[in-house]
A and B are shown apart, each in its own frame.
Chain A
Amino acid sequence: MRVRTIALLVLGLALTAPPWAWSQGEYSSRRTGYQPYEASSGQYDDTEVLPRQRQSEFQRLGPGTVQGPQSQSRARNRMFLADSHAGIPYYRFKKCEDCHAGAARNSHAEHAGITCRQCHGPEPVASVNHFFSRLNPARKHAYVCAKCHEGAGASFATFVVHQPAPLSEEAAKEFRALSWVSWGMSALLLGVFLLFVPHTALWLLREYRERSRKGGQP
Chain B
Amino acid sequence: MNIRRFTLTQRVFHALMAFCFMAQSITGLARLYAENAWGARLAALFGGQEGVLAAHKAGGIVMVVLLLAHVVHVLVTSPRGLIPGPDSMMPRIRDVSDFFKHVGWMLGMNKHPSLDRFAYWEKFDYWAVFWGVAIIGGSGLLLVDPVASARYVPGWWLNIALALHHDEAFLAMGYIFLIHFTVAHLRRSRFPMDMAMVDGCIPMEEVRLERGDWEARLEAPGGAGACTARMAPAGRSLALIAGWAVVLCGWLLAFWALGEVFRHGL
Contact = CB atoms under 8 A, between A and B. Distances in A.
A208 B188 contact: yes
Contacts of B154: 155, 158
Contacts of A197: 178-179
Given A111-B34, A185-B164, A208-B188, A196 B156 contact: no
Residue of B34, B168, B171, B178 with most partner-chain A CB within 10 A: B171
B7 interface: no
Contacts of B170: 189
Interface stretch (A2-10, A128-136, A146-154): A146-154
Interface residues of B, number: 42
B158 interface: yes
Contacts of A200: 178-179, 182-183
Contacts of A205: 106
A50 to B, nearest CB: 13
Contacts of A107: 162
Range class of the A interface residue count: 35 or more
B168 A207 contact: no
A193 interface: yes
Interface in B90-109: 103, 105-108
A193 B124 CA distance: 13
B75 interface: no
Given A200-B183, A206-B105, A218-B209, A156 B155 contact: yes
15 contacts: A155-B150, A156-B147, A159-B150, A181-B164, A182-B167, A185-B168, A186-B167, A189-B171, A192-B171, A197-B179, A199-B103, A199-B121, A203-B187, A206-B108, A211-B188
